Amino acid sequence: MKMIKKIYIVRVAILIIPVLGWFYYDYFFLSSNDLPSQNKSPLASEYLNMAPEVKFVGDEACSACHLEIFKSFKRTGMGMSFYKPSTGNVIENFKSNNRVYDKKSNFQYEMIREKGEFYQREYRVDDAGNQIHELKRKIDWIIGSGRQARTYMTTIGGLMYEMPVTWYSEKGKWDLSPGYHSRNQRFSRPIVAECMNCHNSYTDHVENSENKFRNVPSGIGCERCHGPGELHVESRFGWKINTTMSGAKDPTIVNPARLPLREQMDVCLQCHLLGEKAVFKEGMKSDSFRPGMRLTDLKSIYISDDISPNNFDIASHGERTSLSACYIKSNGALTCIVCHDPHNPVKSLGRVHFNNKCLQCHEIGNLSREPEGVEHQVDANCISCHMKQGDASDVLHVNFTDHWIRKRLSVDEPQKEEGRVITLKDFMGETDSSADIRLGIAYVKYFEEKHPEQEYLVRAIELLEEGLKSNREHISGLYNLGKAHLSLKNPRKAAQALERAIMMNPVEIKTYFALGISYEKLGEKDKAMNAYLKSLEIYSEDALVLTNLGNLEQGAGNSETAIDYYIRAIKSEPSYPGSYVNLGRLYLVDYNNPARGKEYIQEALRLDPDYIPALSHLGSILVAEGDDEGAIKLFDRILEINPSYISAYGNLASVFAKRGELAIAREYLLTLLELAPNNKNARKMLARIETTIKKFN
């Protein structure tokens, strides 16, 4: 084991922090408060089912009285948005052209149909064509009706994840899932509640988990647009409520067609206005919306202040519609249901249906007489000339309709400049006292999830600190201020903000987790331990919290307790490689048991063959076993993945120094010191090597 001690290993806790205007927008429906409730809506007294305590009853209850509408809706894209795969609903090609290669990550994928079940198999081959990695996951759920595409989900240990390959129906081909061309997240992209609740009916999300659900429904249901049906069903069957309708508005259920324009539009915009980032208001979640509410009661939507005509995202309908002269000149009367019948499949309506919608306002003869007018035919396709169709900016291989209606479609405007620092603006234009806080939160989220440019954090901190002066108890503001400081490597300020957030809300696990990381960065291990333990009291199955507790216990010499935490972490999230690596490291270092340690580290590499901590520890084990060549290959592989990973340079220097190849070892150390000039271990090793070289020259 002396050999292992010579290897240049950096012991760190395995922590994951998520990568910690030309056009005038006129959204006619403005609001102004950040402490909403469902009962605050001006329509809450008119529609009894807007109350948060009214229960959802499911679509089958609706079918008893509305059978034909129910059947028709179930054929729409929304009605077919989420379901299990079966041999009866296959539209994909599993027999030929069923492989996809991701050159960027060097992973290959094969889509398999086997004994009535469906799988995606990930594998990698070396230069000689030998398979060196394989991971096979079962398809458990499908997102998407298949009219444009189908994306797939797998469930691992009760947790739901997106899968890396999508079937694109329009082109009849397999390709990487949306967003995976820029960053292949393989089988590890969690399906969070916010995503689930727009692709499906409201789902029973396990509170405080990231991607765990109970009783997952199949498809967007009636109640997403009409609100909870409990009171309506009771009134119709005479159980509790008796109402006399006689054609009047039914107070037990929302009919979106009867809503004011603002609230009517917001029923659709709850999911069809994605923006660059959304920020929920205090006390609100993705399943808090009830038809009849204003979207501004729920969340703020942020868009880039520089929009190109040719860039439209798959869920940008509301944003693009608001650019249309038809929408602006109608004072918002061009709502979604003017053109769309949500109860009937779009493909069943045809061109004439949509042309007639245009002809309600635009008379053919008048159009031809306008300046620079062209001859318009009654049977022409209005959409083909006035609404761009094709790939969306964020989803390829689809034939999506841009909802910005224009006289002439531009074809040569500049596209998005990747990597450019953007400025976010509130789509609804709210100016209340918490507006700066929400914009600051949006910048933190944009940094973490889209573009890790520190400028966003600088903006966020300025906005958050200013907003918190007048809203000192804004919990989300304090939490995100803490995260921003943590990402900028200022754990003291992070801890101060997070401590304030916990004083306001002592039952938020994510705040305790961030606070635990802050304390670890400050070297305050006991405080970090307490923060993680508080988190576990609220939710006992968070793998990252359990892993970090294991790290602290191992560091304190409590190996048995650390093992218990690592095992619990593995049971909670079986696909997270960090827990396996840390458990393997414990057996390697604390118990001098490289064979047992190697098993866990190899399991981590089975889950993720590019997981750097596992590659590093396995390399150390191979050196101890005398397999220098194998170790060198692993350390070189690390530098292919991350050329700035300093431990790999130190480990390579150690291996070559042991082999007597001092000149090579010296070069690795010089490179390391370019990256980390103050690294004391590297300087000491370099001094010894240079002394030895001089001695023998």
Helices 543-555 and 577-589: crossing angle, nearest 10°?
10
Instruction: Give percent above pLDDT 90 in the chain.
Output: 73
The pLDDT value recorded for residue 630 is 97
pTM confidence score? 0.89
Mean pLDDT lowest among 179-193, 315-329, 525-539, 555-569: 315-329
Instruction: List the domain boundaries for the chain.
Output: 59-224, 540-601, 610-696
Q: What is the mean pLDDT of the chain?
A: 89
Neighbours of 199 (CB within 10 A): 19
The pLDDT value recorded for residue 188 is 97
The pLDDT value recorded for residue 11 is 32
Are 194 and 185 contacting, i.e. CB atoms less than 8 angstroms apart?
no
The pLDDT value recorded for residue 324 is 85
CA distance linking residue 408 with residue 371, whole number of Å: 13
Angle at 111 between CA 106 and CA 114, to 5 degrees: 140
Residue 143, strand partner residues: 82, 151
CA distance linking residue 295 with residue 286, whole number of Å: 11
pLDDT band at 350 (very low <50, low <70, confident <90, very high): confident
Residue 4, pLDDT > 60, answer no
Residue 670, pLDDT > 80, answer yes
pLDDT band at 7 (very low <50, low <70, confident <90, very high): very low
Distances in Å between the Cα of 249 and the Cα atoms of 240, 256, 292 are: 19, 11, 13
Label residue 18 exposed, middle or buried (CB < 10 Å: 0-12, 13-18, 19+).
Answer: exposed
The pLDDT value recorded for residue 9 is 31
CATH topology of domain 540-601: 1.25.40
The pLDDT value recorded for residue 420 is 86
The pLDDT value recorded for residue 23 is 30
The pLDDT value recorded for residue 397 is 73
CA distance linking residue 519 with residue 492, whole number of Å: 8
Helix (H), strand (E) at residue 480:
helix 475-487
Joined together, the tokens standing for residue 672 give 């390391």
- Shared fold status for 540-601 and 610-696: yes
CA distance linking residue 113 with residue 120, whole number of Å: 9
The pLDDT value recorded for residue 363 is 79
Per-residue pLDDT tens over the stretch 363-388? 777 776 665 666 677 677 888 888 88
Per-residue pLDDT tens over the stretch 248-280? 689 999 999 999 999 999 999 999 988 899 999
The pLDDT value recorded for residue 38 is 41
Residue 16, pLDDT > 70, answer no
Helices (H) and strands (E) in the chain, counts: 29, 18
Residue 159, strand partner residues: 156, 212
Q: What share of the chain is helix, strand, coil (3-state, %, to 5)?
A: 45, 10, 45
pLDDT band at 6 (very low <50, low <70, confident <90, very high): very low
Joined together, the tokens standing for residue 247 give 């054609």
Are 304 and 23 contacting, i.e. CB atoms less than 8 angstroms apart?
no
Main-chain dihedrals φ then ψ at residue 136, nearest 5 degrees: -115, 125
pLDDT band at 24 (very low <50, low <70, confident <90, very high): very low
Nearest to 143 by CA among 107, 169, 112: 169
Per-residue pLDDT tens over the stretch 510-519? 999 999 999 9
Read off the DSSP letter of residue 218. S
The pLDDT value recorded for residue 419 is 75
Are 91 and 80 contacting, i.e. CB atoms less than 8 angstroms apart?
no
Are 611 and 186 contacting, i.e. CB atoms less than 8 angstroms apart?
no
The pLDDT value recorded for residue 451 is 93
| Residue 169 zone, left/alpha/beta (φ > 0; ψ -120 to 50; rest) | alpha
Neighbours of 590 (CB within 10 A): 16
Label residue 384 exposed, middle or buried (CB < 10 Å: 0-12, 13-18, 19+).
Answer: exposed
Own/partner long-range contacts of 537-540 (Cβ < 8 Å, ≥24 apart): 538/208, 538/507, 538/508, 538/509, 538/512, 539/207, 539/208, 539/209, 539/509
Mean pLDDT lowest among 23-32, 334-343, 444-453: 23-32
Residue 535, pLDDT > 70, answer yes
Instruction: Give percent above pLDDT 70 in the chain.
Output: 88
Nearest to 102 by CA among 190, 186, 187: 186
Helices 662-675 and 646-658: crossing angle, nearest 10°?
160
Q: The domain 610-696 is classified under which CATH number: 3.40.640.10, 1.20.120.1150, 1.25.40.10, 1.10.340.70?
A: 1.25.40.10
pLDDT band at 413 (very low <50, low <70, confident <90, very high): low
Which residue in the block uniquely carries the two structure tokens 């576990």? 536
Which residue in the block uniquely carries the two structure tokens 């590890």? 188
CA distance linking residue 651 with residue 526, whole number of Å: 31
Residue 173 contacts by C-beta under 8 Å, 6 or more apart in sequence? 97, 167, 397
Distances in Å between the Cα of 54 and the Cα atoms of 137, 231, 662 are: 39, 7, 74
CA distance linking residue 302 with residue 447, whole number of Å: 14
Per-residue pLDDT tens over the stretch 279-299? 999 999 999 999 999 999 999
Q: Which carries the bigger pLDDT value, residue 179 or residue 10? A: 179
Neighbours of 545 (CB within 10 A): 27
Per-residue pLDDT tens over the stretch 33-73? 343 344 467 888 899 999 999 999 999 999 999 999 999 99
Per-residue pLDDT tens over the stretch 622-643? 999 999 999 999 999 999 999 9
CA distance linking residue 695 with residue 697, whole number of Å: 6
Per-residue pLDDT tens over the stretch 577-603? 999 999 999 999 999 999 999 999 999
